[in-house]
Chains A and B, each alone.
Chain A
């Protein structure tokens, strides 16, 4: 159990650093989602299931959804659409 907790905590630190250092905004948001999902596991291991549910729903679900909407709003998802167009051709 201690090993699992250590693994999760190391993954958390790795995710937190990768979120900041990522070049593309969309990949850093996805890494942030992974961070929240692992964080909810850690909450569960710390015996607070209420927080785990809230973290999974709000942190991994709602926050990143709103981030995606914001990216769409400020036209940062355009690169992806261009890639899709290129692959179609």
Chain B
């Protein structure tokens, strides 16, 4: 119950004070901290600006002089007289202007939103119709991808061909970005010698449902990754599904159980290994300037899993990187018990 007093942040207090509304809830007037802060705001609004700490110290001194029993209890006497201005220093604070400014921010935010909405509507009016033949997106690039994509990349699914062959370098860069994000999060948030975070296991309904759902989700994630080159799907979407399945598993089994199998060290190893495998497998492409001279790849056939050449392991690498990154984010952001 101690923490409920600190529920509202400073920002919300300021907003509540600016809109002059009485704070909701019955416990609001009994909150001495909030009341003190409101008095402080009114004080600097009426007088001159001083630091909050200086204000509190001044009130504490006054309370002591008045001889109140509890100097920390709620203060009822007259607000203190302002300190005299130093002549040399020019004060930027005008009196009574803070309340107006805060209200002006609200009005300004609504105005800016309206302007952006208007601009976006104008842009949408200018867009070509869906499927129009003279749209700028319909050009030789699309024609080449659709007509010669299968011969050149070996992928039945044109999107995978685009992602893993024509734009392979982009995909590599995205994977590196994900890896860098995961690594920097680990560096920032993980403290060594930290005990395993024990969470109370989820409730019964979640457990019973997940028993049946979890294998299906895992299977579907692997299906989307492995069949990415001959049916809709691919590394990124399948990796996201796999990551969600891992998170669900750590929700039911408790983070400690899954964390014993997938330690952050092991997850990092998997990610690095996948990245290096991807780089090595695409090296021929980067080396020959994406012309594949002398490295003709087998063409994919619909319904045959091992038919797209390198596309299957490439998809698997991307999927593993995405899944591991998602899982890392989750494990690092779950709050500890003592908070």
Contacts and interface: CB of A to CB of B under 8 A. Distances in A.
A62 B244 contact: yes
A75 B241 CA distance: 27
A69 B335 CA distance: 8
B333 A54 contact: no
Contacts of A52: 232
Given A73-B333, A75-B3, A53 B247 contact: no
B236 interface: yes
Contacts, number: 51
B333 A66 contact: yes
Q: Interface residues of A toward B: which range?
A: 10 to 19
A9 interface: no
Q: Interface residues of B toward A: which range?
A: 20 to 34
Contacts of B241: 57, 61
Given A53-B224, A53-B233, A61 B335 contact: no
Contact of A50 (B7, B159, B326, B335): B159
Contacts of B224: 53
A22 interface: no
A60 B191 CA distance: 31
A57 B237 contact: yes
A66 B331 CA distance: 11
B333 A78 contact: no
B4 interface: yes
A72 interface: yes
Contacts of B4: 78, 82
Max chain B CB contacts within 10 Å: which of A57, A61, A78? A57
Shortest 5 CB-CB contacts between residues of A and residues of B: A49-B232, A57-B240, A54-B237, A53-B237, A61-B244
